[in-house]
């Protein structure tokens, strides 16, 4: 089973950028002595309601000419944000929990090996036709087709090609392992619904059920979207959304600063630190439950990190405070080595305190003194390479012969090289735990070979009640906290720049790709 | 007609033939060179845990399991038919390049249009006052501009004209479906950034050439016979400087098409430079190969044209006095 790179991008943040959305914000405009930050006077930007009408102009990082209206092909922030308002998913995530969207219910069978999917009635496509079970069956087949360069990850869990259409609004979906909470899986992985038979996503044929329809699109430049009045979730406040693709973060800032746009995603920490003049501008953070976890994933399948003692030593060696200060410029806080802070069932263990003496003792005890450690990194997100260099220095301090292996983005995912690396730099937003641990288990160099962890993970995936899931995830994360292979050294703020009157921006699955279907100008 | 049949025609035919041969060599270098870039396009696309079968499948589907020379032959065949292949994103490369080559050429073209009078005027102005403060100012200014990276100049212009004075848009957000030519306000700063960098080199070359002509015996003779400075400039200096200047302008112009990468990025201008960066980062080799090939061919064409211009502008070459 292959995990396409897109899923990695989706889980780590984008190739060239990321986007923040506002629930907690720190005003920055005008007062240069208090450049954006989360510790200052924070106010709630989403309390304003957008007024009817008007145009909202937003800039995001794009992918040039390879951007696409095919919801399963685009890989850049602008692709995700745009396709999020054109197409709908069966379920969406809200505060980490699944909420019905195009489906109303996903009920697992007694053995967890299939589930019944019930669809919302009265949903219309942009061309006026009705949304039915056939559309879902086609979408499942289309997104998981092996001919696609990026087949859907959901096929790790669901048998996507063997869906049975029971009636116009009901389907039965077989699974490949017991799944107790299919709705969370459908909400967490990219799974937009397209019309039955749709394979061409040119401007005219990009038809979804979302709150906006495509008026004009030019890859790498601009998308103009107009409100879809018959939207099943109630028409959006704003008449028109205009998304522009701007790769350079400073250019995005300039576009908002000079009035060419109202909202810009992925603002570099350095820009925020310097402050941005303008009384009607503010730098927003997505809040402390929507931060990106920055990490080094240790390869537990080869020496020296196959020894839990050396893994613990690496965690004791890492200087979290210094990394947060130098790499994140203070926009964040030290992490506790567990991914997905802010997600449901996340374990709030305290970060390990730096203890070089204990770390050296553990390395010695494991007989790993002078062991070679290769830390692989590419600048997938700003800060990857700098953090890796610091980590290497810190590993040297405890007697490991560490060296960094900085490569280009095109080389980063070479499977053979990943398997030979001892540490891979990685990051993740607060995805639901099944997603992040499922992904890690699927990557040979990221998986933790631990029976207790594996059993707890399986239990969590099959659990049918909230209480069962909570217990199982606590068990799995206890193992990670004790002898795990992730060194999540910090969680970083997700920043955006907006005019003060931009309102209604929501975080659904990831703050880096905010949902603009209900956004507008207040 | 008579010109083409004469020495100029011979020279042109020779240059075109050499250009064609060079282009063939270039195509091989580009294809093999890009192919050797670090990184594997297939694994870059499929992610770290793709099964070996899936990798092999995609490799075969993309024809990557064939020997490099076979792939080169197929690629060259496609190029000759006007089909540069398919990007790893699944889109035809020709579609991805279609507008962008034109957009970059527009920037470069506008820049050269301004470059010609600006560099000629500044170069001659400085040359007529060698060693004087005016010359020093022009020469030092040009040297400074040559040394500053173009994106610094571009960022400076943005700060001044967009953020500070609010006169021009900071980013070239060309609406979907529109051609940049319909938004001249969005072209001003990209063109100006390129012009500042490009003119610096041209000014220095023109100045140096004009200085040596002005110090030469022909100008001395004209001056002694009482010909006015303005006439000397028009009849003796400019004709002597032009063959060199035209070459500099043409080569600079082509260089601008591909060399505007950073300027295009600062202004988010939808040109070929931005596409090239994205393609290199993502390991999208067919796109990289096509762009490099187009730029290479344009450069060869510019050199042929420059050579032709030299012949046409030099009487002794034009009439076959000496080849």
Residues A82 and A95 in one domain: no
Q: Tell me, yes or no, whether A132 and A173 share the same domain.
A: yes
Structure tokens at A96: 């980490």
User: How far is B131 from B133, CA to CA, in rounded Å?
Assistant: 7
* pLDDT at B146 exceeding the cut of 90: no
Cβ–Cβ gap B47/A245 under 8 Å: no
Q: Which domain holds residue A413?
A: 292-492
Length of chain B: 323
Q: End of a domain among A158, A188, A218? A: A188
Strand-pairing partners, residue B86, are B92
CATH number at residue A512: 3.40.190.10
Q: For residue A6, is it within any domain?
A: no
Residue B275 to residue A65, Cβ atoms within 8 A: yes
Please give the residue of chain A at the shortest CA–CA distance from B164.
A258
What is the predicted pLDDT for the residue at B320? 59
Same domain, A173 and A219: no
The per-residue pLDDT for A22 is 30
Pairing of strands A281-285, A502-503: unpaired
Q: Do A248 and B268 touch (CB under 8 A)?
A: yes
pLDDT tens for A471-513 read 999 999 999 999 999 999 999 999 999 999 999 999 887 888 9
Does residue B264 sit at the A interface (CB-CB below 8 Å)?
no
CA distances from B120 to A241, B198, B206, B233, B240 (A): 47, 13, 7, 12, 12
Residues A136 and A254 in one domain: no
- The stretch B129-138 carries a mean pLDDT of 87
Does the pLDDT at position A14 exceed 70? Answer: no
The answer to whether position A386 is within a domain reads yes
Tell whether A344 is covered by a domain.
yes
- Write the pLDDT tens digit of every residue in B255-299: 777 667 788 888 989 888 878 888 887 778 888 888 888 888 888
The CATH homologous superfamily for domain B93-318 is MetI-like (1.10.3720.10)
Looking at the structure, tell me whether residues A309 and A360 fall in a common domain. Answer: yes
For range B156-167, the mean pLDDT: 89
Residue B43 has pLDDT above 80, yes or no: no
Whether A99 maps to a domain, the answer reads yes
CATH number (domain holding residue A134): 3.90.76.10
Q: Name the least confident of A333-342, A488-497, B76-85.
A: B76-85
Higher pLDDT, A111 or B46: A111
Cβ–Cβ contact B91 with A under 8 A: yes
Are A348 and A320 contained in the same domain? yes
Asked whether residue A269 falls in the same domain as residue A391, the answer is no
Q: What is the pLDDT of residue A413?
A: 78
pLDDT in tens, A293-333: 999 999 999 999 999 999 999 999 999 999 999 999 999 99
B55 or A374: whose pLDDT is higher?
A374
ipTM of the complex: 0.82
What residue of A is the nearest CA neighbor of B49? A443
Does residue A257 sit in the same domain as residue A270? yes
Q: Model confidence at A380, in pLDDT bands (50, 70, 90)?
A: confident
In terms of average pLDDT, the best of A20-24, A45-49, A57-61, B311-315 is A57-61
User: Are A462 and A112 spatial neighbours (Cβ–Cβ below 8 Å)?
Assistant: yes
> A359 with A456, same domain?
yes
Indicate if the pLDDT at residue B100 is higher than 90.
Answer: no
The answer to whether A250 faces chain B, any CB pair under 8 Å, is: yes
Query: Do A311 and A300 meet the contact criterion of CB atoms below 8 Å apart?
Result: yes
Please determine, for residue A123, whether its predicted confidence score (pLDDT) is greater than 90.
yes
Contacts of A369 (CB under 8 A, 6+ apart): A363, A399, A400
Cα distances from A466 to residues A192, A312, A344, A462, in angstroms, run 26, 31, 10, 11
- Give chain B positions within 8 Å (CB) of A219: 96
Domain co-membership, A467 together with A513: no
Q: Enter the tokens of residue A270.
A: 């350095």
What is the distance between the terminal CA atoms of chain B, rounded to a whole angstrom?
Answer: 20
Asked if B50's CB is within 8 angstroms of A410's CB, the reply is no
- Give the pLDDT confidence of A406-460 residue by residue, as tens digits: 998 778 877 788 889 999 999 998 989 998 998 888 787 889 999 999 999 999 9
- Residues forming beta bridges with residue A506, ordered by sequence position: A515
Quick one: what percent of chain A has pLDDT higher than 90?
Answer: 65
- pLDDT tens digits for range B198-244: 888 899 899 999 988 888 888 888 888 988 888 888 888 888 888 88
A·B CB contacts under 8 A: 179
At residue A37, what are phi and psi to the nearest 5 degrees?
Answer: -175, 170
Q: Where are the domains of chain B?
A: 93-318
Q: What residues in A contact B47, CB-CB < 8 Å?
A: 2-5, 7-8, 413
Provide the CATH number for the domain around residue A435. Answer: 3.10.105.10
Q: Please give the Cα distance from A107 to A98 (Å, whole number).
A: 13
In chain A, the number of structural domains is 3
Contact A2, B47 (CB under 8 A): yes
> What is the model's pLDDT at position B51?
63
Residues A368 and A479 in one domain: yes
- The two tokens of residue A337 are 């080595």
- Among candidate residues B322, B300, B315, the one with its CA nearest the CA of residue B251: B300
Contact A221 B174 (CB under 8 A): yes
Contacts of B190 in chain A (CB under 8 A): none
Among chain B residues, CA nearest to A152: B46
Tokens of B141: 């200014």
- All residues of chain A having their beta carbon less than 8 Å from the beta carbon of residue B158 are 254
Shared-domain flag, residues A337 and A427: yes
Does A408 contact B268 at a Cβ distance shorter than 8 Å? no
């Amino acid at each position: 089973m292959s995990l396409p790179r897109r899923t990695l991008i989706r889980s780590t943040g984008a190739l060239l950028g990321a986007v923040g959305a506002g629930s907690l914000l720190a005003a920055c405009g005008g007062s240069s002595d208090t450049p954006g930050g989360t510790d200052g006077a924070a106010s709630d930007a989403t309390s304003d309601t957008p007024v009817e009408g008007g145009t909202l102009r937003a800039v995001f990082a794009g992918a040039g000419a390879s951007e696409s209206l095919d919801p399963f092909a685009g890989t850049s922030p602008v692709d995700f944000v745009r396709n999020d308002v054109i197409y709908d998913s069966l379920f969406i995530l809200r505060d980490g929990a699944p909420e019905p969207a195009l489906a109303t219910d996903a009920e697992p069978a007694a053995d967890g090996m299939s589930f019944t999917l019930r669809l919302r009635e009265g949903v219309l496509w942009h061309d006026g036709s009705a949304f039915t079970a056939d559309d879902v069956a086609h979408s499942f087949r289309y997104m998981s087709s092996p001919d696609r360069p990026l087949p859907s990850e959901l096929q790790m869990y669901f048998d996507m090609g063997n869906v049975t259409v029971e009636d116009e609004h009901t389907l039965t979906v077989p699974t490949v392992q017991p799944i107790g909470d299919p709705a969370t899986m459908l909400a967490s992985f990219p799974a937009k619904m397209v019309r039955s038979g749709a394979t061409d996503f040119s401007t005219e044929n990009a038809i979804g059920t979302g709150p906006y329809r495509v008026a004009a699109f030019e890859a790498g430049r601009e998308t103009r979207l107009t409100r879809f009045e018959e939207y099943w979730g109630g028409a959006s406040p704003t008449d028109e959304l205009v998304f522009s693709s701007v790769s350079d973060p400073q250019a995005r800032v300039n576009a908002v600063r000079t009035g060419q746009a109202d909202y810009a995603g992925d603002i570099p920490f350095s820009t925020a630190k310097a402050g941005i003049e303008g009384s009607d501008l503010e730098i927003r953070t997505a809040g402390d439950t929507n931060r990106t976890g920055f990490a080094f994933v240790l390869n537990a399948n080869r020496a020296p990190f196959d020894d839990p003692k050396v893994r613990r030593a690496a965690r004791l060696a890492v200087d979290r405070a210094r990394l947060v200060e130098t790499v994140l410029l203070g926009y964040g806080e030290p992490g506790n080595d567990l991914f997905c802070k802010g997600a449901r069932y996340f374990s709030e263990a305290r970060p390990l305190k730096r203890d070089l003496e204990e770390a050296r003792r553990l390395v010695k005890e494991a007989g790993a003194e002078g062991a070679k450690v290769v830390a692989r990194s590419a600048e997938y997100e700003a800060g990857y390479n700098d953090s890796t260099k610091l980590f290497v220095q810190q590993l040297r301090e405890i007697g490991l012969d560490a060296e960094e292996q900085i490569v280009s983005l095109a080389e980063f995912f070479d499977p053979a090289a990943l398997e030979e690396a001892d540490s891979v730099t990685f990051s993740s937003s607060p995805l639901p735990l099944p997603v992040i641990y499922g992904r890690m288990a699927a990557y040979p160099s990221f998986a933790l070979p631990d029976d207790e962890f594996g059993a707890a993970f399986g239990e969590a995936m099959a659990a049918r009640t909230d209480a069962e899931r909570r217990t199982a995830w606590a068990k799995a994360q206890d193992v990670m906290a004790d002898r795990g292979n992730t060194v999540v050294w910090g969680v970083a703020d997700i920043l955006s720049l907006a005019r003060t009157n931009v309102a209604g921006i929501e975080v659904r699955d990831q703050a880096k790709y905010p949902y603009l279907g209900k956004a507008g100008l207040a | 007609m008579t010109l083409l049949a004469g020495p100029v025609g011979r020279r042109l035919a020779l240059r075109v033939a050499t250009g064609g041969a060079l282009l063939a060599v270039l195509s091989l270098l580009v294809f093999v060179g890009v192919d050797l870039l670090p990184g594997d396009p297939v694994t870059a696309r499929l992610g770290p845990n793709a099964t070996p079968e899936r990798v092999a499948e995609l490799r075969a589907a993309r024809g990557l399991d064939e020997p490099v020379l076979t792939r080169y032959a197929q690629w060259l065949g496609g190029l000759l038919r006007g089909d540069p292949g398919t990007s790893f994103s699944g889109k035809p490369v020709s579609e991805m390049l279609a507008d962008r080559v034109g957009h970059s050429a527009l920037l470069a073209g506008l820049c050269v249009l301004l470059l010609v009078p600006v560099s000629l005027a500044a170069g001659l102005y400085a040359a007529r006052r060698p060693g004087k403060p005016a010359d020093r100012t022009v020469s030092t200014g040009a040297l400074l501009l040559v040394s500053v990276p173009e994106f610094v100049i571009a960022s400076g212009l943005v700060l001044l004209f967009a953020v500070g004075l609010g006169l021009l848009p900071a980013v070239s957000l060309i609406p979907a479906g529109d051609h940049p030519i319909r938004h001249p306000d969005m072209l001003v700063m990209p063109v100006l950034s390129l012009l500042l960098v490009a003119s610096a080199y041209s000014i220095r070359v023109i100045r140096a050439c004009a200085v040596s002509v002005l110090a030469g015996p022909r100008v001395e003779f004209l001056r002694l016979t009482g010909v006015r400075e303005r006439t000397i400039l028009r009849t003796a200096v400019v004709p002597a400087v032009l063959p060199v200047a035209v070459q500099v302008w043409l080569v600079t112009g082509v260089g601008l098409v591909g060399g505007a990468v950073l300027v295009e990025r600062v202004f988010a201008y939808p040109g070929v430079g931005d596409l090239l960066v994205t393609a290199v980062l993502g390991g999208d080799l067919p796109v990289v190969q096509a762009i490099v090939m187009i730029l290479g061919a344009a450069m060869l064409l510019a050199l042929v044209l420059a050579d032709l211009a030299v012949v046409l502008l030099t009487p002794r070459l034009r009439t076959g006095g000496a080849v």
